[in-house]
Amino acid sequence: MPVSLAVGTVRTPEFSTVALWYDVMVQVEKPLPFMQITCMMGVVGGPIDLKYCSSNDPLLQAEWTVWDGEHIVDHGSIPNRCACKFEDKYIYKFLGSFAGEASKKYVVEVKFTKDGTPLNAVNPHLLVIQHGKN
């Protein structure tokens, strides 16, 4: 689903799963200069790549929670490491993963904790997909 990366909370619509692992991630397009977007998203490969960043404080920062009704199934915060995937058209930042149970209904809630609105120019989407499917 399309999202704004402004400070605030977004929730997915309720969805059903099968008994598999699911990844929660943010997907963006690559229209900005590559090194600029990797710095902004916190998807640099290591300390050597940080020399291209103005700071080690990426704009994409978030906490996530998976709900089954009023019950918290899992939660976490965005990893400090790359936890990312690069494709020709997209960059993915993994926020976390959770185990789905067959026929349960879930909602994923993501709270963006830093103003990442400059990243709205790269068409961010929140994805919840079966692990290994993207």
Residue by residue, pLDDT tens for the chain (134 residues) are 999 999 999 999 999 988 889 999 999 998 777 877 888 888 876 665 666 676 666 889 999 999 999 999 999 998 877 788 889 899 999 999 999 999 899 999 999 999 999 999 999 999 999 886 65
Give the model's pLDDT for residue 42. Answer: 81
Q: By the 8 A CB rule, do 5 and 59 touch?
A: yes
CB under 8 Å to 33, separation ≥6 — which residues? none
The strands making up 84-86's β-sheet, listed across from edge to edge, are 84-86, 90-99, 21-29, 125-130
**Helix, strand, or coil (residue 12):** coil
Angle at 46 between CA 45 and CA 52, to 5 degrees: 85
Domain architecture of the chain: domains with CATH: 8-130 (2.60.120.790)
Q: What is the phi-psi region of residue 69: left when phi exceeds 0, alpha when psi lies from -120 to 50, beta otherwise?
A: left
Query: Whole-prediction pTM value?
Result: 0.87
Q: How far apart, in Å, do the first and last CA atoms of the chain sit?
A: 15
